[in-house]
Each structure stands twice: as C-alpha cells, then as structure tokens.
C-alpha cells in the first residue's frame, strides 16, 4: 500500500494540489467548505505529510542532533531526557548518536547530521584532544552548535557546562564544616580537564581556608582502582576520616571497599561525592553529594539552542550551578 500524497487527495477531490495544501494548513484563501472536504478526506485516507518533501522545500529539517560519549550513562541520559522533553514541546525531533569517546565516531556522526541537514547539534567532545575544524566548518555553514559538559576552550562557540570548580569547592567547604581532619580526595583520569579543574579548585580551597587539615590526593580512573585505593590507605597507620569522590564511578569503588572492610559511615569515615544523585541514594545512609544535574544542563542547552537558531549568534559560556544535597554520610 502506497502512502497518501497531496496529489492523490487532489485527484480524488478534483482540486489542485496547491488548494489541498493550503486547505490543510488553514490558509485564508480557501473556502471553509473546501477545507472541510479536504480535511475529511485527508483524515480518512490517513494522510501524513512527507517530512522529506517539506524539508527539501523549506530547507528546515526541525531535527536536532545530539552527540554523547555514551547513551548508557547516568549523566548523559538525563541530559538527553531533558533535551528530548524540550524538543517535543518545540516540535523538533531528535537524532542521537554516541561517540564512544572515539573522535572517529564523532566525525562520522557529524557527517550524518550534516547530510540530514539538522537544524542544530548538541555536542559533547570525546575526551581525547582533537581539532575543532569540523565544528568551525559547521559554524560557517550556519549550523548552530551547543557544546555541553566537555566543551572546547575556543570562545567562538556556545557552551553550557556544569560549574565544575564550584562543585569541588562546595565539597571542600562541607568537609571542613563537618570537621574532617584527614581527608582522602580521589580524582578521575588526570588527563581529563574536568579532573584537573576539580582538583585545582579543591586544593586551592583547602590550602587557603584550612591549611592545617591533612589531605591526600589520589587518582583513580575506574571503580576498581578507587576500591583498591581505599584498601591500601585504610591499612595504613595514618587512616583517613573523610573521603571525597570526584565522580559516581569512584564512589562506587569506594563504597564497595567500605562495605567489604565493614567501615561504618559516618561514624568511622565520612563520604562526600559529586553526582547527579542516583548512585548516592542507593546506599544507607544516603551519601552526601554536590549535585550536577544532567537534566538541568539539558534544559539550559536547549534554551541556548533556540536562542542560537532564532537570534543568530550567542557566543557565551553558561554554567549550571551546583548545590549541596544532604545525606547521612558526613
């Protein structure tokens, strides 16, 4: 069975295609009686406008592209969720692709986006350093780009991200408020700029506001490593009384080790992390965290995208602020 088209409707009704087209969109030129007939037939024949023809003609796809490192990720999927909600409201459809942190995939995805003439793309850089030429070319072609989370330094782009430094600073503040004396602070892959930012912020705050507190800095790019770290550090004579985790992944490793060692939270050690909240709420007591909401970021990104699409350029970097969420772990 072939799809219903304007032409088909027109033939059935002995009208011209343009009349049918206008009737369906309530154009004032068309008589009410005609409109009624057209609508009725369209309904009964299950007419659905061909998006491709429309897009070809109008040069407006109403499709937005999203590139994330991975869909299967607590942070990014809440980002996507938010963007999808907004898109629906604004009558845009979404095309989602994952880069798996491979620049090669990222490029390929962008190509698909361009070939589909997306109206804009939300991009999260894959972690490895790369050149931004593609993005510049897309800018030249006037395809709006909103970078999120992992954003380039280049300030010719529109960017939204979490207030990474603030997160770490807030966490440090809380640690001090709760009387942490010997802190183990675990950060992620030191190659990532986000790790550097958070570590610097944490360190800066600690050094200036609480110079007498003893802080051990460590890296762990996986839960496994984070767990081992706890095991190792906890057997030392100089034990920590507080542990700060930079990410959910680290927290997971830490918590496993803490459960294995049967350490009591918060009596024996306090725990604080940066997270969107899902993982911290899996434990008893709930882990205290500084919230970084992918959802909020998504909403913000969408606003920026709309501004970009409508009003031309908005080359700014916006951050969504962090806030502390109380738990029972500190």
Partner DNA sequence: CAAATTATATCAAACGTTTGCGAAACTATT
Partner DNA sequence: AATAGTTTCGCAAACGTTTGATATAATTTG
Catalog residues that contact its own copies under the rule CB under 8 A. 1, 3, 46, 48-53, 55-56, 61, 70-74, 77-78, 80-81, 84, 88, 93-98, 105, 108, 111-112, 114-117, 137, 140-142, 252, 255-257, 259-260, 279, 282-285
Q: What's the CA gap between 177 and 180, in Å, rounded? A: 8
Cα angle value 148/292/255 (rounded, 5°): 125
Of 62 and 182, the one with the shorter C-beta distance to DNA is 62
Can you point out the beta strands (E) in the chain? 63-68, 93-98, 120-123, 145-148, 158-162, 182-187, 214-219, 242-245, 270-275, 288-291, 317-320, 323-325
State the minimum distance, in angstroms, from the CB of residue 213 to its own copies.
29
Question: Is the distance from CB of 327 to CB of 168 less than 8 angstroms?
Answer: no
- Least Cβ distance, residue 308 to DNA (angstroms): 22
> Is residue 139 near DNA by the rule CB under 7 A?
no
Among 11, 26, 40, 54, binds DNA (CB under 7 A): 54
- By a kind-dependent CB cut-off of 5 to 8 A, residue 70 interacts, out of its own copies, DNA, none, with its own copies
Does 264 engage in binding with DNA (CB under 7 A)? no
CB of 42 to DNA, least distance (A): 10
Residues constituting the chain: 330
From CA 125, how far away is CA 103, in angstroms rounded?
Answer: 8
Query: Is there a contact between 146 and 123 (Cβ–Cβ < 8 Å)?
Result: yes
CA 269 to chain centre: 32
SS3 318: strand
- Could you write out the DSSP letters of every residue in 7-30? HHHHHHHT--HHHHHHHHTT-TTS
- 18 touches DNA by CB under 7 A: yes
- The site partner of 15 among DNA, its own copies, none (C-beta below 5 to 8 Å per kind) is DNA
Stretch that binds DNA, among 50-58, 179-187, 244-252, 295-303 (CB under 7 A): 50-58
Q: Which does 108 bind (CB under 5 to 8 A by kind): its own copies, DNA, none?
A: its own copies
Q: Residue 94 binds what, of its own copies, DNA, none (CB under 5 to 8 Å, by partner type)? A: its own copies
Sequence-separated (6 or more) residues with CB below 8 Å from residue 142: none
The reply on whether position 47 binds DNA by CB under 7 A is: yes
Q: Does 15 bind DNA (CB under 7 A)?
A: yes
Nearer to DNA, 19 or 87 (CB): 19
Contact 252, 311 (CB under 8 A): no
57 near DNA, judged by CB under 7 A:
yes
Q: What value does the CA radius of gyration of the chain take, rounded to a whole number of Å?
A: 26
283 binds, among its own copies, DNA, none (CB under 5 to 8 A by kind): its own copies
List residues binding DNA (CB under 7 A). Answer: 2-7, 14-19, 21-22, 24-25, 29-34, 47-50, 53-54, 56-59
């Amino acid at each position: 069975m072939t799809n219903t088209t304007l032409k088909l409707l027109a033939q059935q009704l002995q009208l011209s295609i343009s009349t049918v087209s206008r009737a369906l969109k309530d154009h004032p030129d068309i008589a009410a009686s005609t409109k009624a007939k057209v609508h009725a037939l369209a309904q009964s024949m299950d007419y659905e406008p061909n998006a491709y023809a429309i897009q070809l003609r109008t040069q407006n796809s109403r499709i937005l592209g999203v590139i994330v490192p991975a869909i299967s990720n607590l942070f990014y999927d809440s980002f996507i969720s938010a963007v999808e909600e907004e898109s629906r409201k604004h009558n845009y459809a979404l095309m989602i692709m994952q880069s798996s942190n491979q620049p090669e995939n990222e490029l390929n995805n962008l190509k698909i986006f361009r070939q589909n003439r997306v109206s804009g793309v939300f991009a999260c850089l894959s972690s490895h350093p790369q050149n931004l030429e593609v993005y510049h070319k897309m800018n030249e072609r006037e395809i709006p780009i909103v970078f999120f989370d992992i954003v380039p330094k280049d300030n010719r782009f529109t960017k939204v991200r979490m207030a990474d430094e603030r997160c770490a600073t807030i966490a440090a503040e809380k640690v001090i408020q709760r009387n942490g004396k010997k802190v183990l602070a675990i950060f992620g892959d030191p190659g990532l700029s986000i790790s550097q930012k958070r570590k610097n912020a944490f360190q800066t705050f600690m050094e200036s506001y609480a110079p007498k507190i003893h802080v051990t800095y460590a890296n762990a790019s996986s839960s496994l490593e984070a767990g081992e770290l706890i095991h190792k550090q906890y057997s030392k004579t100089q034990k920590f009384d507080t542990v700060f985790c930079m990410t959910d992944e680290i927290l997971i490793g830490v918590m496993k080790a803490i459960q294995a060692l049967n350490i009591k939270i918060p009596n024996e050690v306090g725990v604080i992390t940066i997270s969107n909240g899902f993982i911290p709420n899996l434990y008893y007591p709930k882990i205290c965290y500084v919230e970084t909401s992918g959802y909020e970021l998504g909403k913000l990104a969408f606003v920026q995208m709309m501004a970009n699409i409508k009003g031309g350029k908005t080359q700014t970097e916006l951050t969504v602020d962090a806030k502390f969420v109380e738990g029972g772990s500190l």
